């Protein structure tokens, strides 16, 4: 686990023997797919069990059964040895099960306090049952405090995350912190964390792991789902591995080893990206330039960047550093206040995403479900939408040609779906990301901007996406990659530009790039 170091987990004090949760022979089918096939897992009080597996292995389906969102087709769930029926999220909550799902579940129009107390609002006595906002804000502030966030200080400073902030105005990582705080506000006996750190920085992740340790010491039973195996090594007392909807094995704490876990997950060797053959140095052939670019969030700060043809430029920085704003300005999502974008030396006017797409500049967004996909639509429609005119004759869509295009694009990235008409909302996170990539790769991209390209994606799918990025770069496509994962930044980038408060604080070449140097520039 080179690059990132997490503190190792302490063993739970005392012998852990009480089984608070037992899942026995759980099965779940969807049309054309067996999601779970007789899966077993148990959990004891004061224990952290890491549940790992590739996207599509069945982890999220199992969690949704425990959350009361799905009903199993077979099998049994027991709490404290007694069979229970979890037929709704409210039932799960009443039984003491709190779940943080991989995809963010917040109400954008409500403030942080209302989101954290959602469904458990404090009310005044009397017939009107009015909300006690002061009590809700106190509850929310206490939950945020456990994550190391001083909400009162942030509010007094007029910045950052605090209880009165409207959630829709928060960055993705901050929204994730709100969902974690919501779970902490519940007095849960069983806490299920589904990719809780997928949008967090290293510091925030370490803070989260400390919270998990504290809850474990209090006797809370925790299922921790993560594709970041460094976290698994750091926090897990036991690892349970799923593969293709079945149990692939389990490891006790002393047996946990990254390569062993990976082999159990994928039934094959997956080498770490850094172990792949090193790339030749990228020639200094300037392909894409950003000059004096000022974003709406940081209008007083100008950003200058040059990217060489076939280069992967990593953009690193802490939450709020301006990375996503830069990516969105380049791609016309949020037009820049000022500045110039040049492609092959020619200035471009990019006021909308349509302008960027017309020039072959494509964005793979941070939140694929909110900004990258139409969840209810099928794989075909999601892939062909930007190029629908290519499949139209006299104003009518040639469905056969469109389907062939989508089928070829999906096959090129090994998208796993029952058919190209399968709604993308039913696909795993890794396959959803592949659909987004298939859309743009089929349009001969010149520049691709990846914002958190592997958020919530397993180790096998990560390797596939990294391979796609390298193939694109080798073919002459210029790539900008925004990532909160320092290990990813170090492994994939040819150069790394570090941001702080909207400005570039330094650019590091691959050979000189270390986690320490990146962090120094990120807090400069």
What is the DSSP annotation of 43-65?
EETT-EEEEE--TTSSHHHHHHH
CA torsion 374→377→378→380, rounded to 10°?
-70
* Digit-coded pLDDT (tens) for 297-308: 889 999 999 999
The closest of 387, 310, 295, 300 to 341, measured between CA atoms, is 295
> 271 falls in which pLDDT band (50, 70, 90)?
very low
DSSP string, 242-288: EETTEEEEEEEGGG--HHHHHHHHHSS----GGGSPPPPPPP--EEE
Compute φ and ψ for 178, nearest 5 degrees. -65, -40
Q: How large is the average pLDDT for residues 414-442?
A: 82
What integer pLDDT is reported at residue 252 of this predicted model? 93
Cβ count near 411 (within 10 Å)? 11
Q: How large is the average pLDDT for residues 234-248?
A: 92
What integer pLDDT is reported at residue 276 of this predicted model? 40
**CB-based contacts of 519: which residues, under 8 Å, 6+ apart?**
202, 486
Q: What does the DSSP 8-state code read for residue 167?
A: G
* Digit-coded pLDDT (tens) for 145-175: 877 787 777 776 666 688 988 998 887 778 8
Q: 148 in helix, strand or coil?
A: coil
**Whole-number Cα distances in Å, 231 to 44, 191, 234, 257, 485:** 20, 17, 5, 12, 12
Query: Burial code of 416-450, b = ≥16 C-beta within 10 A, e = fewer?
Result: bbeebebbbebbbbbbbbbbbbbbbbbeebbbbbb
More confident residue, 289 or 279: 289
What integer pLDDT is reported at residue 11 of this predicted model? 43
C-alpha 92: how far from its chain's center? Answer: 24
User: CATH 3.40.50.300: which residues of the chain?
Assistant: 37-108+172-269, 272-360+447-524
What integer pLDDT is reported at residue 268 of this predicted model? 52
**Whole-number Cα distances in Å, 3 to 230, 323, 475, 488:** 10, 21, 29, 9
The closest of 381, 375, 376, 331 to 351, measured between CA atoms, is 331
> 78 falls in which pLDDT band (50, 70, 90)?
very high
More confident residue, 311 or 1: 311
Q: Between 429-441 and 459-474, two packed helices, what is the crossing angle to 10 degrees?
A: 10
Q: What does the DSSP 8-state code read for residue 305?
A: E
Q: How large is the average pLDDT for residues 182-211?
A: 80
Q: 312 in helix, strand or coil?
A: strand
What integer pLDDT is reported at residue 83 of this predicted model? 93
Decide if 486 contacts 230 (C-beta within 8 A): no
Cα separation, 175 vs 178, in Å, equals 5
Q: Over 90: is that where the pLDDT of 221 sits? A: yes
Q: Which two tokens stand for residue 442?
A: 């089929």
* Digit-coded pLDDT (tens) for 442-464: 778 899 999 888 877 777 778 88
Q: pTM of this prediction?
A: 0.59
Lowest mean pLDDT among 4-18, 34-48, 264-278, 508-522: 4-18
Decide if 442 contacts 448 (C-beta within 8 A): no
What integer pLDDT is reported at residue 171 of this predicted model? 75
What integer pLDDT is reported at residue 440 of this predicted model? 82
* Digit-coded pLDDT (tens) for 411-426: 877 788 888 888 888 8
CA torsion 506→325→483→204, rounded to 10°?
90
**Whole-number Cα distances in Å, 399 to 80, 239, 355, 389, 394:** 54, 46, 27, 12, 13
Q: Over 70: is that where the pLDDT of 380 sits? A: yes
What integer pLDDT is reported at residue 505 of this predicted model? 92
Cβ count near 399 (within 10 Å)? 10
CB-count burial class (<10 Å; 0-12, 13-18, 19+) for 394: exposed
Cα of first residue to Cα of last residue in the chain, in angstroms, is: 27
More confident residue, 198 or 356: 356
What integer pLDDT is reported at residue 281 of this predicted model? 58
What integer pLDDT is reported at residue 8 of this predicted model? 46
* Digit-coded pLDDT (tens) for 105-149: 889 999 999 999 988 888 887 777 888 999 999 999 988 887 778
Was domain 37-108+172-269 assigned CATH 3.40.50.300? Answer: yes
Q: Which helix (H) or strand (E) holds 194?
A: strand 190-194
SS3 content of the chain, % helix, strand, coil (to 5): 35, 25, 40
Q: What percent of the chain has pLDDT over 90?
A: 33
Cα separation, 25 vs 59, in Å, equals 14
> 5 falls in which pLDDT band (50, 70, 90)?
very low
What integer pLDDT is reported at residue 311 of this predicted model? 94
Mean pLDDT for all residues in the chain: 83
272-360+447-524, what's its fold?
Answer: Rossmann fold (3.40.50)
CB-count burial class (<10 Å; 0-12, 13-18, 19+) for 29: middle
Q: How large is the average pLDDT for residues 205-218?
A: 84
Cβ count near 301 (within 10 Å)? 16
């Amino acid at each position: 686990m080179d690059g990132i170091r997490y503190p190792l987990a302490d063993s739970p004090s005392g012998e852990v023997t009480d089984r608070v949760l037992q899942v026995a022979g759980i099965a779940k089918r969807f049309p054309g797919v067996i999601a779970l096939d007789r899966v077993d897992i148990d959990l004891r009080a004061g224990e952290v069990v890491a549940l790992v597996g590739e996207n599509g292995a069945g982890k999220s389906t199992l969690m949704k059964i425990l959350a009361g969102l799905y009903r199993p087709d077979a099998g049994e769930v027991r709490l404290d040895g007694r069979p229970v029926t979890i037929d709704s999220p409210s039932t799960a909550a009443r039984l003491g099960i709190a779940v943080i799902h991989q995809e963010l579940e917040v109400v954008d129009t409500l403030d942080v306090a209302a989101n954290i107390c959602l469904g458990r609002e404090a009310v005044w006595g009397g017939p009107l049952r009015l909300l006690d906002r002061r009590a809700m804000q106190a509850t929310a502030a206490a939950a945020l405090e456990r994550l190391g966030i001083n909400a009162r200080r942030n509010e007094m400073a007029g910045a950052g995350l605090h209880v009165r902030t409207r959630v829709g105005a928060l960055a993705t990582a901050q929204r994730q912190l709100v969902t974690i705080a919501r779970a902490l506000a519940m007095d849960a006996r069983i806490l299920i964390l589904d990719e809780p750190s997928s949008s967090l920085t290293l510091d925030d992740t370490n803070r989260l792991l400390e919270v998990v340790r504290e809850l474990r010491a209090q006797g809370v039973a925790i299922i921790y789902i993560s594709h970041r195996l460094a976290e698994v090594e750091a926090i897990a007392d036991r690892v349970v591995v799923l593969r293709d909807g079945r149990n692939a094995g389990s490891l006790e704490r002393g047996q946990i080893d990254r390569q062993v876990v990976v082999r159990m997950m994928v039934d094959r060797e997956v080498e770490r990206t850094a172990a792949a053959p090193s790339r030749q140095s990228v020639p200094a052939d300037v392909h894409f330039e950003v000059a004096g670019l000022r974003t709406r969030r940081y209008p007083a700060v100008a950003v200058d960047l040059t990217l060489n043809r076939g280069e992967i430029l990593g953009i690193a920085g802490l939450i709020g550093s301006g990375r996503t704003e830069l990516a969105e300005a380049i791609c016309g999502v949020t037009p820049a206040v000022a500045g110039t974008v040049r492609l092959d030396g020619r200035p471009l006017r990019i006021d909308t995403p349509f302008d960027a797409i017309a020039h072959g500049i494509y964005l793979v967004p941070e939140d694929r479900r909110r900004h990258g996909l139409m969840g209810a639509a099928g794989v075909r429609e999601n892939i062909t939408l930007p190029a629908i005119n290519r499949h139209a004759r006299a104003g009518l869509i040639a469905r056969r040609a469109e389907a062939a295009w989508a089928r070829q694009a999906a096959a090129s990235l090994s998208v796993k779906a029952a058919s190209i008409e399968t709604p993308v909302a039913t696909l795993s996170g890794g396959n959803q990301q592949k659909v987004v990539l298939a859309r743009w790769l089929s349009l001969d991209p010149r520049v691709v901007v990846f914002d958190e390209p592997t958020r919530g994606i397993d180790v096998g799918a990560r390797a596939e996406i990294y391979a796609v990025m390298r193939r694109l770069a080798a073919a002459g496509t210029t790539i900008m990659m925004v990532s909160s994962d320092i290990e990813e930044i170090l492994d994939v980038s040819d150069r790394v530009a570090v941001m702080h408060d909207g400005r570039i604080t330094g650019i590091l070449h691959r050979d000189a790039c270390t986690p320490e140097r990146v962090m120094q520039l990120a807090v400069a």
